[in-house]
Structure 1
Amino acid sequence: MPAAVRFGVNYTPSQGWFHHWLDFDLDAVRADLDSVSALGLDHIRVFPLWPYFQPDRALIRPRAVEDLVRLVDAAGERGLDVNVDGLQGHLSSFDFLPAWTRTWHRRNLFTDPEVLDGQAAYLRTLAAALADRPNFLGMTLGNEVNQFSAGPHPDPDRATADQIDAWLERMLAACEKGAPGKLHLHAEYDATWYQDDMPFTPAQAARRGALTAVHSWVFNGTAQRHGPTSVASEHHAAYLIELSKAWAEEPHRPVWLQEVGAPAPLVPAEHAAAFTEATVANALDCPDLWGITWWCSHDVSRDLADFPELEYSLGLLTNDRRPKDLARALSRAARDHSYAPAPRTTALTVPADPAARTRCAPGGDVFEAFFRLTADGARPTTVLDTRAADQDHLVARALTEVVTPDQVLRTPRGGTRS
């Protein structure tokens, strides 16, 4: 019997958003966590803002670290485990980078030796401060830090895939040194899987760290192209889970759906609960799923200016901590412990060449073929084209049928694949 899937939420404080670290209010945090715990969730993911915690390369503020520990302890009192993201990094359309990496002190985030030293010290310090907390799951290096490494970022820190690989290895090692044996990982937005020139690669995502993390957002062209109630939109998270498995070396490497949400207006407010229910049900049909962590806990307050409109309404709970219908949908799933999906035995080939990733993106032939198969009830997964004839690999993953995108797309709907 598979282990139960973890259900959690990305914690967005109801008061002051992530700026709450500037004037940390433990009572407000406790009230937020009470409202999260009441949904029956078992973990949260939290986001120290890097410039607030390490404003100088040689200064990691003890008071900020202490506040983080207090938050983790408060979560533990409510039965919530905690994953901590370190290098924030990028959140809700805003970049938060310390001044010692920008403008007059401009240094590459992924290659400059002094920046690397500072980052490693920071991650190690946070991990060490929490290492003895039983409810501390581990560190995520940062939130979607790949967006700093290539376009469409307006001022990217360019790096090669080899340089990114070295960066990942060093930063994960720093987390491990601080908190040995914890669940340390990295997490990127879907350009890792979809963008040809992204130096963060699918192989890195599926092989480095304790597990693979995917972030699913249908505003990436999926909902625009297919609509909010389409097979593609409601199975997009499941697609990323299964797409990641093509690059994994371990046949049953766990995958964490670390971010997924219902972004308005592409997912209309009146459809958000149904979208949540469908997305979660389809993700739960994926073997080897570690957990689902919704984005996000609480709405952003309308007292704060300049956020993109969709950011104000992504919460499971309102800004005054009242649960929405989508919160109830997630809560029902979290209380159901019947996770036991059948193996997925049909594999769609995907290009191993990272310069061909757009084929996996919305509109690409891999993407469209996957959802054709899904609509036909095939429950597909994926396999690299370089492994499609590797019988040992196929057997290890219980794969009995391998199809190419062109085979799927040239077959009439409901027809037999050859």
Structure 2
Amino acid sequence: MRFGVNYTPTRGWFHHWLDFDLDDIRADLDSLTALGLDHIRVFPLWPLFQPNRTLIRPRAVEQLVALVDAAGERGLDVSVDGLQGHLSSFDFVPSWTTTWHRRNMFTDPAVVDAQEAYLTALASALADRPHFLGMTVGNEVDQFSGDPHPDPDRIRPDQAGRWLRRMLDACDRAAPGRAHLHASYDAAWYDDTHPFTPAHSARLGAMTAVHSWVFNGTAQRYGPTGAATERHAAYLIELSKAWAEDPDRPVWLQEVGAPAPHIAPEGAAAFTRATLAHALDCTGVWGITWWCSHDVDRALADFPELEYGLGLFTNDRRIKPAGEAVARAVREWHEGGREPERRRTALVLDVGDAGDAAASRSVCAPGGAFFEAWMRVAARGVRPAVVPASRVGDVGWLAARGVDSVVSVDAVG
């Protein structure tokens, strides 16, 4: 089990790449050592690293390597996101893909060639660093592909799959043997029309990444302390396994946080404890990476209110109650934690062909029939797994998952 945090610099947020100060970064990383973490996830801003289609700034790449080295000196492994992409409600895309140069970022040959070159450059520069975990293609890049984005680059699921495979292959060639993956926001699991599908998330890359945010309607519908709210991250972990062809494929809870006002600040520590406890009761979890390390400086304008206070530390590096909750969970795990038993009872998920776009996956979303049934079963003390309807007769696959009893949604009272 790995425990980490998404690193948000205290000075300048991700704009810190413009005024890169390694001393500030070291001070930020030093504050994280109190939590007992073993890794961080970091975010180069794509337009700053590749401001022109044929220019990848050597100095920016050198700064990224310096950050990874500074983390390694503190015993922290580093996962690096490439195409940023989307962060905290802001889009960071280079000028050569927008307005007068508007091109589809997933299908235009020149743009895709440039993206491949960029990911190759970052992965190559880090390939010999022992503390480099691998690349994530980008942070929730799928949000550019459809609604509700105000100016989407629309694609089909087959095009999304081709693009992901090409980006992941580039990372694999540049830094072989590292854990390269991609990360989608929850539309991939919950939106019938979204071109990035559950199968893409659960079958491409070294592991499956899930991002759990209860402002997606969960906390609004079930309340900040509702069973469904506290189990949302665990639910996504288990849901993701339904599409995995490898029954032992690891799942990374790559983002999870306590967003106010959906989770009140005074309730953040309790939410953190409950979320971690339920996630740690899932098998096959590679790691949990909290969002985020430090609060956003309120001198920076125009963030949604919830983004300012998500840190485990304040902007001046004072630990918050949620940070103390994470530190306690990490300590208790290392003192006596163990892999939980496999989940023997599974709820059957029928969303059409599990191998393609899962055209009725909205039943998995908060308020959907499957979501509601899974949460009712879980609230009764059962530890439900999820299996697709197409696998119900696959005795070998069920046995590999440890499942010996399946229950239909209709049978859940």
1:245 partner SS: helix
Match of 1:358 in 2: 362
Would you say 1:211 and 2:207 are equivalent positions?
A: yes
Which of 261, 276, 289 is the matching residue for 2:257?
261
1:351 Cα offset (Å): 2.4
Counterparts of 1:402-413 in structure 2 under 5 Å? Answer: 402-408=406-412, 411=413
Is the CA contact 1:18–1:49 (under 8 Å) kept in the aligned structure 2? Answer: yes
Letter in 1 for 2:407: V
1:196 Cα offset (Å): 0.4
Match of 1:127 in 2: 123
Is the CA contact 1:272–1:326 (under 8 Å) kept in the aligned structure 2? Answer: yes
Which of 366, 376, 379 is the matching residue for 2:383?
379
Give the CA RMSD over aligned residues.
0.7
Counterparts of 1:12-411 in structure 2 under 5 Å? Answer: 12-335=8-331, 336-337=333-334, 338-353=337-352, 354-408=358-412, 411=413
Structure-2 separation of matches of 1:404 and 1:222: 23
1:38 partner SS: helix
Structure-2 separation of matches of 1:29 and 1:250: 38
Letter in 1 for 2:277: A
Structure-1 separation of matches of 2:304 and 2:345: 40
**Long gaps (5+) in structure 1:** 412-418
Structure-1 separation of matches of 2:95 and 2:111: 11
1:122 Cα offset (Å): 0.1
1:282 Cα offset (Å): 0.4
Letter in 1 for 2:107: T
Structure-2 separation of matches of 1:167 and 1:385: 28
Letter in 2 for 1:82: V
Is the CA contact 1:256–1:291 (under 8 Å) kept in the aligned structure 2? Answer: yes
Is the CA contact 1:284–1:339 (under 8 Å) kept in the aligned structure 2? Answer: no
Letter in 2 for 1:127: A
1:393 Cα offset (Å): 1.6
1:394 Cα offset (Å): 1.2
1:340 Cα offset (Å): 2.0
1:41 partner SS: coil
1:274 Cα offset (Å): 0.5
Structure-2 separation of matches of 1:406 and 1:361: 17
1:252 Cα offset (Å): 1.1
1:190-218 Cα shifts (integer Å, max 9, x gaps): 10000001110001100000000000000
Structure-2 separation of matches of 1:220 and 1:172: 28
1:314 Cα offset (Å): 0.2
1:389 Cα offset (Å): 2.0
Letter in 1 for 2:203: R
**Long gaps (5+) in structure 2:** 353-357
Runs of 4+ in 1 over 2 A off after TM superposition: none
1:54 Cα offset (Å): 0.1
1:291 partner SS: strand
1:71 Cα offset (Å): 0.2
Structure-2 separation of matches of 1:201 and 1:339: 32
1:114-156 Cα shifts (integer Å, max 9, x gaps): 0010000000000000000000000000000110001010111
Structure-2 separation of matches of 1:34 and 1:314: 19
Is the CA contact 1:365–1:406 (under 8 Å) kept in the aligned structure 2? Answer: no
1:246 partner SS: helix
Letter in 2 for 1:267: I
Structure-1 separation of matches of 2:298 and 2:369: 41
1:395 Cα offset (Å): 1.4
Length-normalised TM-score, structure 2: 0.97
Structure-1 separation of matches of 2:168 and 2:219: 34
Structure-2 separation of matches of 1:361 and 1:401: 24
1:110 partner SS: coil
Structure-2 separation of matches of 1:124 and 1:66: 14
Q: Which 10-residue stretch deviates more, 205-214 or 33-42?
A: 33-42
1:224 partner SS: helix
Q: How many residues align?
A: 405
Match of 2:355 in 1: none
